[in-house]
Amino acid sequence: MPRLASPLRLSLVLMLLLLAGPALAQQARKPANLPASQDHDHDHDDHHHHDGTYRGRVIAEVMSYLGANWLMRPTRVQEERPDEMLDSLKIEPGMTVADVGAGVGYHALKMAERVGPEGLVYATDVQPQMLRMLNQRARRAQISNVKPVLVTQDDPGLPAGEVDLILMVDVYHEVSDPEATLRGLRAALKPGGRLVLVEFRAEDPNVPIKPEHKMTIAQARAEVEPNGFRLKEVLDFLPWQHIIIFEKPEDAADADVPTAEPAAAETEPAPKP
């Protein structure tokens, strides 16, 4: 009966694909702009990041490369004002910078123009598919000073002590092992180097982003400062996001990361307009 079995198997496969189609499409549309009503249920009582939470917040899932088109959406210019954000960081020609969680290179290519031919941009991501798309965009734009790096959640893959500025745009909240990542990022920075987190403001319920894709300034400080960083400044001129700038102290020793709790939230500097 092989001739009859083959069409039957084909019909079953087609039926399964039809049933799975909506679920796959939903996964591709899972990036941070989904409203909270479409969020999944999580256990907020478990504070161990190995169980999906860290310091009281849910660690968001990494956005799949299937949703890469969302990174290039036309409305992003109005919603996030990327050029103004990068201008505020005062990136200079000749700098070595890193776009961590670079995706398709939306910010990495802009950074490459700012550091110029004498500078270098490390563009890292955990998904090789994202880096392939980034490479294609860089070639089309004839940009040669971006170095894509495939990394893991445990190892940022950056050279030690060589980076002036590390940028993470809507990425840090997806890191599955924040402490390991922060140790690696700190080691990669030069003394006085900056770690910049751009995160949707959890303090504002009107920001139309899923809760696990938002962070408060206090939450960012509570996680980053114990890992050897110092809050430098907060910029809040973007429509929906904080620009939270930390620095590696000039006298930092990578083998001696402080373990003290960060300063209380009420002592944080006021955001600059």
The CATH number of whichever domain residue 74 belongs to comes to 3.40.50.150
The answer to whether residue 92 is domain-embedded is yes
| Bridge partners (DSSP) listed for residue 266 | none
Q: Which of 109, 113, 107, 105 is nearest to 80 (CA)?
A: 107
Residue at 33 is within a domain: no
* Residue scoring higher pLDDT (47 or 240): 240
3 state SS of 65: helix
Domains held by the chain: number: 1
239 bridge partner residues? none
In the predicted model, what is the mean pLDDT of the chain? 81
In a domain, 13, yes or no: no
Question: How far apart are the C-alpha atoms of 189 and 118, rounded to whole Å?
Answer: 18
- 121 domain-assigned: yes
Q: Tell me: the pLDDT tens digits for 52-77?
A: 899 989 999 999 999 999 999 999 99
The string of DSSP codes covering 198-226 is EEEETT-TTS-S-GGGEE-HHHHHHHHGG
Rounded distance between C-alpha atoms, residue 145 and residue 142, angstroms: 9
pLDDT at 62: 92
Instruction: Provide mean pLDDT across the span 162-185.
Output: 96
Token representation of residue 267: 């002592």
Q: Is 35 a member of any domain?
A: no
Per-residue pLDDT tens digits for 67-108: 999 999 999 999 999 999 999 999 999 999 999 999 999 999
For residue 53, list its beta bridge partners: 58
Q: How deeply is 266 buried, as exposed, middle or buried, from its count of CB atoms within 10 A (0-12, 13-18, 19+)?
A: exposed
Give Cα 151 distance to the centre of its chain: 13
Percent of the chain with pLDDT over 90: 71
Q: Is 230 helix (H, G, I), strand (E, B) or coil?
A: strand
pLDDT tens-place string over residues 154-169: 899 999 999 999 999 9
The residue range of the domain holding 161 is 67-252
b/e per residue, 22-42, with b = 16+ CB within 10 A?
A: eeeeeebebbbbbeeeeeeeb
Residue 143 counted as domain residue: yes
Is 111 in contact with 143 (CB distance < 8 Å)?
no
Residue 58 lies in a domain: no
pLDDT for residue 263 is more than 80: no
pLDDT tens digits, residue range 32-51? 333 332 333 333 334 444 56
For helices 128-140 and 108-115, the axis angle rounded to 10 degrees is 50
Does residue 167 fall inside a structural domain?
yes
